[in-house]
């Protein structure tokens, strides 16, 4: 009964056996030391995909099926996760804290589960996936956990090179004025069983 419920909610049910086979083959490949997590658009302009068909402005193929993937520095795909709205993470295990991190962070955590020998590996991703709770690096302004930093307007008045920062729960958030306002997050501990992000 439970398996039938999962199949009924699976928006990729018709091609699930193919996706599982492809994922197994990708997971079996010898893994490199450095990984990149990003999104890919599989071109599709048809009408039958419903809300699975996505639009992303600055992609070579703006309409299609969005797939998150983890690649090595050679460009080889080691794992992937097709975007299916609220069902995207069906079958993946997350802690309570990880479940509250948002889609971008959950993509990184979910795809990192297939990386072997994590203590010796390093994962890179852009600010779409980054958040104050997840990583060190540039983060989007809506992912700094409402830190009370000075306003963009005030920072721009002070000029290029000016900054404001604060620490919260072991994470330092810095807001810095370059040619535009940039937010950076720095965590002092390494997370996810030794995986460096």
Residues 150-174 pLDDT 10s = 899 999 999 999 999 888 777 888 9
Taking residues 27-53, report their average pLDDT: 89
- What is the percentage of the chain residues whose pLDDT exceeds 90? 39
The pair of structure tokens assigned to 129 is 């996936």
pTM over 0.85: no
Closest CA to 190 of 141, 138, 120, 127: 120
DSSP result, the chain: -HHHHHHHH-TTGGGHHHHHHHHHHHHTSPP-SEEEEEEEEEE---STTGGGEEE-TTSSS-EEEEEEEEEETTS-EEEEEE--GGGTTTT----HHHHTS-HHHHHHHHHHTT-SSGGG-EEEE-TTT--TTT-SEEE-GGGSTT--PPPHHHHHHH-TT-EEEEEETTEEEEEEESSSEEEEEEESS--STT-B-
Q: What is the pLDDT of residues 88-117, one digit of tens each?
A: 888 888 888 888 888 889 999 999 999 998
Tokens (6 digits) for 101: 């991190």
Tell me the CA end-to-end span of the chain in Å, nearest whole number. Answer: 39
Stronger pLDDT, 72 or 59, i.e. the higher one: 72
* pLDDT above 90 (res 55): no
């Amino acid at each position: 009964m439970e398996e039938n419920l999962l199949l009924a909610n699976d928006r990729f049910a018709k091609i699930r056996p193919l996706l599982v086979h492809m994922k197994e083959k990708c997971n079996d490949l010898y893994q490199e030391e450095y990984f990149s997590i990003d999104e890919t658009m599989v071109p599709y302009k048809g009408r039958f995909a419903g809300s699975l068909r996505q639009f992303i402005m600055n992609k070579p193929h703006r309409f299609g099926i969005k797939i998150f993937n983890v690649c090595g520095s050679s460009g080889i795909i080691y794992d992937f996760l097709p975007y299916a709205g609220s069902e995207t993470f069906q079958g993946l295990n997350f802690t309570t804290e990880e479940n509250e991190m948002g889609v971008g962070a959950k993509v990184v955590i979910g795809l990192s589960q297939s990386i072997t020998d994590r203590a010796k590996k390093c994962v890179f991703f852009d600010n779409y996936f980054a958040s104050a709770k997840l990583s060190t690096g540039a983060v989007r302004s809506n992912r700094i956990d409402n830190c009370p930093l000075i306003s963009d307007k005030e920072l721009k008045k002070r000029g290029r090179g000016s900054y404001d920062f604060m620490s919260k729960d072991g994470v330092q958030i810095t807001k810095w004025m370059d040619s535009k306002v940039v937010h950076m997050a720095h965590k002092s501990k390494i997370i996810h069983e030794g995986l460096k992000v």
